[in-house]
Structure 1
Amino acid sequence: MSSLAMLASITAHAADTMYVAGFGGSVEAAFRDKIIPAFEAKAGIKVVYVPGNSTDTLAKLQAQKGKQEISVAIIDDAPMSVAVDAGLCEKLEEGSNSKNVYPSARRPGGQAIGLGYGATGLVYNTQVFAKNGWAPPTSWKDLEDKRYAGKMVIPPISNGFGLLALIMEARLNGGSENNIDPGFAVMKRIAPGVLSWEPSPGKMAEMLQTGEAAVGVWGNGRVRTLVAQGAPVKFVYPREGALVILSEVCPVKGAPQPQQAQAFIQHLLSPEMQAIFTEATGLGPVNKETKLAPALAADVVYGPDNVARLVKTDTKVINANRAAWTARWNREVER
């Protein structure tokens, strides 16, 4: 059934209320002001948005298993793997918009699908680099450059960006998620030059903005926000690739309004709603038909060339090993 036919079939249930869980902040505002009203007008159903981070939403789904209240859940890829493995997500029905989603945004099995692309790469302070006559960083290997000793900031392994940096270093040095030793070897070499393993996004932004830190590892969305505030920083897609952070959405298994949930996800994947989601989040659109204004397109993961530069990770292996890696990190790297 097409998404339009699906919408038509559910219009009679105007008194129903459907709960959608997703991120807070500017994302919540975009959903309340633009994304949800457009769906309600077509579907004749009331939609209530439940804000929270991915961990919060996953915990709610786990606690409500068998008596779900949330019908659509928006979660980042690693916790989404936990949700799918726990049987919390229903299989997504293919529709007119999901068929235009890039292959790399599709989850095997089809119980969830990407909603927006983020990239983890390098960030640097342009003024500090210009003052020192340094060329901009271009490679993950630049993190080992002795010139940056004491001027480098990287989030810890408890933060997704630090974890992805560890995995990328493993991959570039003969390892992988299944052989993390080479990654730890590189991070131990890097550690003496790290000014701070900074977990706070606010503190990290301050260090990069003031030039206390000259270079680091961060997400393109975080850097985009900092640039908008006037900070002299720039995001770099390393030549070896930037690691993807994929926000995903799933129809919740056993939840009320299952057909409306399927239709809402197709609505989210439409080119128009993808553009709104990108503007609110800084996450690049997964629907290849989405059109963005040039200024916004230059700021996010957009188009087949940029999507092809993203490196996917095995979230199932990461989830299984994260506790052991964290203990090892605390012993060997961040001492």
Structure 2
Amino acid sequence: MMFARLSIAVSALTIAAVTSASAETVTLTAYSGIFQEHYTKAVIEPFMKKYPDITVQFYGMPNSAQMLGTLRAQKSSPQIDVAILDVSVAKAGTDEGLFDKVDESVSANVKDLYPNAHAEGVAGVGVTFDNLVIIYNTDQVKTAPTSWNSLWDKQYEGKVIIQAAPDIQGTTFTIISNKLAGGGDYKTDVSAGIAKIGELAPGVQTWDPKPDVYAPIANGQAALGIGWNARAQIYSGTSGGKLGVALPQEGSGFQINTINLVKNAPESDAAKKFIDYALSPEAQAAFTGEMFYAPTNSKTVIAPDALKRTAADDMDKMIDIDWLAVAKVRDGITEQWRRRIIPLSR
């Protein structure tokens, strides 16, 4: 009897050891804060339910630059398997040999991605699209703005807030303003856009809103501003509708977050499964419904209530922004802001 019990105990320990040995942990680095909260709920938790032998550990960081710095520091001995970061930063990481190519050998879903989810010279692929919108205080702005030109409306002088370049919001706003002003190719000349923003400058309350662009709009400190759609939609809900969100009729520009496979990742096979899942219509629809990023997979079916809160139905209105080309002229754009826009503020 004692021998039988001992055999059962040994067998149980053996099974536990085998199970522990087969379990894998994928370390994902991506944006901390509300992105982490909603991505965990919509994508990571369902993935772990589907693959119970794989645990995903979220290593949140505030921005893509910090993620890149961490990946550089770990290059000789990576601790991170998957990174979600801005496309221009992903290009720098690719150039430095930090990532392996994400293609159809990693995920069959790659073939179904929208063309602008693929950036030349970037190992990863687009996993989310976000777009610039007008945000407004619904007590002060009774009718939702329909045009970017609303920001120049004299009745809102001193009540407009905008995040200046080099922040990507300011850079994107420059490209949009250049189009509004009838300017040429933004990759070579944004002088028309700079001049147009210069006309707005005297009425801008601040070029560096704190703690972000959303809170001052929601609490009524400012009436109008610009922000990213996904976060704006979330804050619209948490503000009790005090923060309104509008996609102007002239369209907008996408910011692209890419998903990247770290070269020599410690859990490469499990990481590929996670990337495949993250790019699937299932996961893309879930995250769109959770945080209102537009999906990058063209086969994603979005619930109607979520669809109207994204730019997924307005792809034809999006300015085709080549962020890799913009990266080469970003310093020049920033310098023009410093010389020709900021000094015009009151």
TM-score range for the pair, normalised by the shorter chain length? 0.7 to 0.9
1:128 to 118, 134, 140: 140
Q: Which runs of 5+ in 2 are unaligned?
A: 1-18
Give, in angstroms, the shift of residue 288 of structure 1: 2.7
2:225 to 213, 216, 222: 216
RMSD over aligned CA atoms reads: 2.6
Letter in 2 for 1:125: N
Report if the CA contact (8 A) 1:115-1:268 is conserved: yes
Moved more, 183-192 or 272-281: 272-281
- Pairing 1:162-181 to 2, within 5 Å after superposition: 162-172=170-180, 173-175=182-184, 176-181=186-191
- For 1:4, the equivalent position in structure 2 comes to none
Letter in 2 for 1:182: A
Give, in angstroms, the shift of residue 280 of structure 1: 4.2
Identity, % of aligned positions: 30
Matched, 1:244 2:267: no
- Pairing 1:140-155 to 2, within 5 Å after superposition: 140-155=148-163
Q: Which runs of 5+ in 1 are unaligned?
A: 1-10
Aligned residues: 318
TM-score, scaled relative to structure 1: 0.84
Q: Separation in 2 of the partners of 1:218 and 1:57?
A: 22
Letter in 1 for 2:276: Q
- Pairing 1:94-133 to 2, within 5 Å after superposition: 94=104, 95-109=107-121, 111-130=123-142
TM-score, scaled relative to structure 2: 0.81
Give the 4+ runs in structure 1 shifted more than 6 A.
none
Q: Residue 284 of structure 1 aligns to a residue in which SS?
A: coil
Which is greater in Rg?
A: 2
Q: Residue 226 of structure 1 aligns to a residue in which SS?
A: helix
Moved more, 190-199 or 206-215: 206-215
Give, in angstroms, the shift of residue 120 of structure 1: 0.3
Give, in angstroms, the shift of residue 109 of structure 1: 4.6
CA change 1:219–1:88 in 2 (3 A) is: same
Matched, 1:80 2:80: no
Q: Separation in 1 of the partners of 2:231 and 2:37?
A: 18
CA change 1:46–1:221 in 2 (3 A) is: closer
Moved more, 232-241 or 67-76: 232-241
Report if the CA contact (8 A) 1:77-1:247 is conserved: yes
- For 1:189, the equivalent position in structure 2 comes to 199
CA change 1:238–1:36 in 2 (3 A) is: closer
- Pairing 1:33-52 to 2, within 5 Å after superposition: 35-40=43-48, 41-42=50-51, 44-52=53-61
- Pairing 1:1-335 to 2, within 5 Å after superposition: 14-32=22-40, 35-40=43-48, 41-42=50-51, 44-53=53-62, 54-94=64-104, 95-109=107-121, 111-130=123-142, 136-172=144-180, 173-175=182-184, 176-202=186-212, 204-228=213-237, 229-302=239-312, 305-335=313-343
